[in-house]
Amino acid sequence: MDIIFEGLKQALSLLISFDPEVMGITWLSLKVSGTATLISLFIGIGIGTAVALTSFPGRQIVVGLINTGMGLPPVVVGLFVTIFLWRNGPFGALEILYTPLAIIIAQSIIATPIVMGITLAAMQQLPRKLRLQILALGATRFQMVWLLIKEAKLSLMAAVMAGFGGVISEVGASIMVGGNIKGYTRVLTTATVMETSKGNFDVAIALSVILLLFAFAINMVLTRVQQRERPR
């Protein structure tokens, strides 16, 4: 129990003192995971909406793949991103392995199916005739899709939370493609793993608390927005 209290004390002192290293790690975590979430929203909502609104041969297989992707293991993503970005790999010439960009790519791959799956479910839950109603109101195809996305906004907010929650808390891919380089690719989760392995439980707990606080704060903001929009 002492270790926990010590850790909490340490977390508080690191936060109050704005410890530069911790702040740097936290800022990088937010930047990387935030960017990955934005990318996943762009791709996930786009493809999720397209799959929900169209019918084509093999659609069921595509939906099955998206649903499977929602549970994509981060280490598998990490492995394949590493292989692709490895010096001799297909994208080795880009020389981005062990950079924050590599972590963004890996985290985007993890979050995209989550956002896509939730978008797909949200769009399919809307009344089928709503599309026809919107078109009958004189909407272009683009206006129709935009209005449908707006109608599904409460569910899509859940997609944002799930996507961000999935990537801010993952460690496998980040450590594999980022390398946990101090001051460069070290994020909250990879730092926590390293400090734990070194036996520095107080620092590890401090980092975990910061991670939890951030996850909670961001989700609270999104939850407030979502609940404000909820019909009463």
Partner 1 sequence: MTVNEPRTPILQGENIQVQRGGKRVLDVSSLKIVPGEILSVIGPNGAGKTTLLQALSQLIRLGQGNIYFQGKKIGADMPPLEYRRCLAMVFQEALLFDTTVYANVASGLKIRGVKSSEIVSLVNTRLQQFGIEHLRDRSAKTLSGGEAQRTSLARAFAIEPQLLFLDEPFAALDPPTREALLEDLNRILRTSGTTAIMATHDQVEALRLSDRIAVMNEGRIVQIGPPAEVMNHPVDEFVASFVGMETIFEGKVLNCERGTTTIAVSRSAYPATADAPPTSMTNSPSSMAEASGLDVGALIIEVAGQAKAGEQILCCIRPEHVTLSPGVRADRSSARNAFPTVIARISPAGAFYKVHLNGGFPLVAYVTVQSIEDLDLRVGTIVTASFKATAVHMIRRG
Q: Which residues bind partner 1 (CB under 8 A)?
A: 127, 129-130, 132-133, 135-140, 143, 147, 150-151, 153-154, 229, 231-232
CB of 230 to partner 1, least distance (A): 9
CB of 61 to partner 1, least distance (A): 20
Nearer to partner 1, 76 or 154 (CB): 154
Nearer to partner 1, 58 or 71 (CB): 58
**Given 3-state DSSP classes, what are the helix, strand and coil percentages for the chain, each rounded to the nearest 5?**
80, 0, 20
Structure-token pair, residue 166: 């999935």
Spell out the residues 6+ positions from residue 10 whose beta carbon is closer than 8 angstroms to its own: 202, 203, 205, 206
CB of 51 to partner 1, least distance (A): 20
In the block, which residue shows the tokens 């649903």? 67
CB of 37 to partner 1, least distance (A): 24
Nearest to 117 by CA among 191, 173, 43: 43
Nearer to partner 1, 147 or 209 (CB): 147
Rounded to whole angstroms, the Cα distance separating 62 from 65 reads: 5
Rounded to whole angstroms, the Cα distance separating 100 from 29 reads: 9
Nearer to partner 1, 60 or 197 (CB): 60
Nearer to partner 1, 87 or 129 (CB): 129
Nearer to partner 1, 93 or 137 (CB): 137
CB of 124 to partner 1, least distance (A): 16
Structure-token pair, residue 144: 């129709």
Nearest to 116 by CA among 72, 159, 62, 151: 159
CB of 160 to partner 1, least distance (A): 18
Nearest to 162 by CA among 126, 120, 116: 116
Residue length, the chain? 232
C-alpha neighbours within 13 Å on the C-beta side of residue 222 = 19
Rounded to whole angstroms, the Cα distance separating 108 from 103 reads: 8
CB of 179 to partner 1, least distance (A): 46
Rounded to whole angstroms, the Cα distance separating 32 from 168 reads: 8
Nearer to partner 1, 55 or 88 (CB): 55
